[in-house]
Amino acid sequence: MRSRTTRILTVTAALVAAAAVGAGGGAATFAALGSEAGSTTTVRETAAETAQPVASTSESLTVSEVYEQASKSVVEITTTIGQSSPMGEGQARGQGSGFVYDADGHIVTNQHVVDGAQSVSVRFWDGSTYDATVVGSDPSTDLAVVKVDAPADLIVPLLLGDSTQLSVGESVVALGSPFGLEGTLTSGVVSALNREMTSPNGFTISNSIQTDAAINHGNSGGPLLNSAAEVVGVNTQIKSESGGSDGIGFAVPASTVASIVPQIIASGSVEHAYLGVGVASLPEPVAAELGVPAGAMVTEVRQGTPAAETGLRAATGSATVDGQSYPTGGDVITAVDGTAISDGADLQAAIDAKRPGDTVSIIYTRDGASTTIQVSLGTRPS
């Protein structure tokens, strides 16, 4: 779905052959109902069914104490990636970070850290290195899990905190291996909440955490910790004109980790429900000016999708309201399964709460008339 957002230059925080891997943000948003290169997607994750391990504690630690408690759980991840060149086939070396998730040796990192890896190794705080296998990944949320067989005294899981309880201004700490400098700590605050990142496959990771704690290449996959040494996010991207840290970093929220990681461990992949439309959010003042109800106006219907099969109609024109351009002539989705839809994020949340194959009731308005349709959701393309 499409909604309005500000264009930013983002780079993933992984280090591959000493070069940054780029990921562009778009001027429009295209929801997990569909994907598009160069755009972001509005996605709202649901709560985990098996969110473990999770801790709830109000204990406040100093930055040094957070480091002392968490540093032995953070690892450096090194990968080898096949590479073609005019000189022939070769290998590139990739590097990122991760953290121990459970006592079985599962380690959480970013999908873009291990994407295409031919081999993966994990380096612990004491310098010991062990081969790891990729359990699975989810490019839609840029999360992955690798597994290592290492001595029990090295397998020290971190606990997940409740990222939904974060506040702007709250102290946070980033741990990882920027530029291969393992065990590096940077500290800062939560600069903003409910930001959006573009995932490796073009969807949006919503509810992302913005922080001014310095995040650089190689920090990807490392934990963002609160003052109780709980993981509240997975460091993933930075906004930068230069490619270096400008104090604007982004992390996948722990709520998403709690929902996605157990699914990766269980099956190696994650399936997301899919409608197949792009939409633009129409707030009430704008909708009133355009003479339509507030909601999510359809701007694109992808061929061969559930939305196309139901005959949903995309916008055919545009109009300017308060200096901003908005689409016109498309169906405006106003409810899903009895829940009111006031914008694109609401629609995404409603779809994301479902599973592929579920049937949902969608109410939309076209030419002033309200219509209810039943839609069987598909599976989001990878």
pLDDT in tens, 233-257: 999 988 866 666 667 899 999 999 9
Q: Is there a domain that residue 9 lies in?
A: no
Could you tell me if 217 and 290 lie in one domain? no
Classify residue 250 by burial, with Cβ atoms within 10 Å: 0-12, 13-18, 19+. buried
Q: Is there a domain that residue 32 lies in?
A: no
Range of lowest pLDDT (122-136, 231-245, 323-337): 231-245
Is 115 annotated in the active site? no
**pLDDT confidence of residue 15:** 45
Q: Is there a domain that residue 35 lies in?
A: no
Q: Is there a domain that residue 246 lies in?
A: yes
Domain ends where: 116, 136, 154? 154
Measuring CA to CA, how many Å separate 12 from each of 237, 239, 261, 350?
4, 9, 20, 28
Amino acid identity of residue 319, one-letter, is A
CATH number of the domain bearing residue 303: 2.30.42.10
Could you tell me if 288 and 374 lie in one domain? yes
Q: Measuring CA to CA, which residue among 234, 270, 265 is closest to residue 133? A: 265
Please give the residue range of the domain that contains residue 307. 273-379
Is 106 annotated in the active site? no
Q: Are 178 and 219 in contact (CB under 8 A)?
A: yes
Could you tell me if 165 and 193 lie in one domain? yes
CATH number of the domain bearing residue 131: 2.40.10.10
Q: Measuring CA to CA, which residue among 74, 32, 55 is closest to residue 296? A: 32
**Residues in contact with 373: Cβ distance below 8 Å, sequence separation at least 6, in sequence order:** 310, 311, 312, 361, 362, 364
Question: What is the rounded average pLDDT of the residues 109-130?
Answer: 94
Domain ends where: 98, 131, 154? 154
Question: What is the rounded average pLDDT of the residues 342-362?
Answer: 89
**pLDDT confidence of residue 88:** 60
Q: Measuring CA to CA, which residue among 251, 266, 229, 222 is closest to residue 52? A: 266
Could you tell me if 333 and 204 lie in one domain? no
Q: Is there a domain that residue 221 lies in?
A: yes
Could you tell me if 302 and 175 lie in one domain? no
**pLDDT confidence of residue 5:** 31
Number of domains in the chain: 3
CA–CA dist 203, 323 (Å, integer) = 28
User: Who wins on pLDDT, 197 or 99?
Assistant: 99
Q: Measuring CA to CA, which residue among 30, 235, 21, 239 is closest to residue 143? A: 235
Model confidence at 29, pLDDT cuts 50, 70, 90, reads: very low
Model confidence at 170, pLDDT cuts 50, 70, 90, reads: very high
pTM of the complete model beyond 0.85? no
**pLDDT confidence of residue 21:** 30
Q: Residue 4 corresponds to which tokens in the numbers above?
A: 């309005």
User: Who wins on pLDDT, 62 or 349?
Assistant: 62
CA–CA dist 213, 175 (Å, integer) = 10
Question: What is the rounded average pLDDT of the residues 358-362?
Answer: 96
Q: Residue 279 corresponds to which tokens in the numbers above?
A: 């939409």
CA–CA dist 381, 245 (Å, integer) = 32
Q: Residue 144 corresponds to which tokens in the numbers above?
A: 């992955």
Question: Which one of 112, 171, 177, 217 is the catalytic residue?
Answer: 112
Q: Is there a domain that residue 133 lies in?
A: yes
Could you tell me if 53 and 170 lie in one domain? yes
Q: Are 297 and 341 in contact (CB under 8 A)?
A: no
Model confidence at 1, pLDDT cuts 50, 70, 90, reads: very low
Could you tell me if 342 and 195 lie in one domain? no
Could you tell me if 282 and 367 lie in one domain? yes
Q: Is there a domain that residue 229 lies in?
A: yes
**pLDDT confidence of residue 246:** 66
Range of lowest pLDDT (37-41, 201-205, 276-280): 37-41
Count the Cβ atoms, other than its own, within 10 Å of residue 366.
16
Could you tell me if 88 and 181 lie in one domain? no
Could you tell me if 251 and 294 lie in one domain? no
Could you tell me if 50 and 173 lie in one domain? yes
**pLDDT confidence of residue 83:** 66
Percent of residues, the chain, with pLDDT higher than 90? 62
Model confidence at 115, pLDDT cuts 50, 70, 90, reads: very high
- Tell me the average pLDDT of the chain: 83
Residue range 279-296, pLDDT digits in tens: 999 989 999 999 999 999
Question: Which one of 97, 177, 220, 259 is the catalytic residue?
Answer: 220
Q: Is there a domain that residue 115 lies in?
A: yes
Is 220 annotated in the active site? yes
Could you tell me if 89 and 56 lie in one domain? no
Question: Which one of 102, 138, 142, 343 is the catalytic residue?
Answer: 142
Q: Measuring CA to CA, which residue among 369, 348, 382 is closest to residue 270? A: 382
